[in-house]
Amino acid sequence: MGWTREENRRFEDALAVHGPEDPNRWQKVANAVGGKSVEEVKRHYEVLKEDVIRIERDQIPLPRYRGSGGINGRHIYGQ
């Protein structure tokens, strides 16, 4: 099953709080998201990392968010 906008927000917030040095990071992230297993959040993180790499290499365009501000035609995530 896919991820909702709210699950993604909780996922990103949890990543910011529970850094890579936290030995229980993935369990804490899964708990914060709710309804996702440790394996699901790890897979989601790997997909996110790959997307960031592809965006940085200009292999895929930045997502366009309705109602967001932009710079030079590129929309900034989270605005």
Helix axis angle, 5-17 relative to 25-33, nearest 10°? 150
- Give me the architecture of the 5-75 domain, per CATH: Orthogonal Bundle (1.10)
Going by the DSSP 8-state scheme, the letter that residue 63 receives in this structure is P
Q: Where are the domains of the chain?
A: 5-75
What is the reported pTM? 0.70
Give the model confidence (pLDDT) of 20-73 as tens digits: 999 999 999 999 999 999 999 999 999 989 988 888 888 777 667 776 555 544
H-assigned helices in 1-79: 5-17, 25-33, 38-56
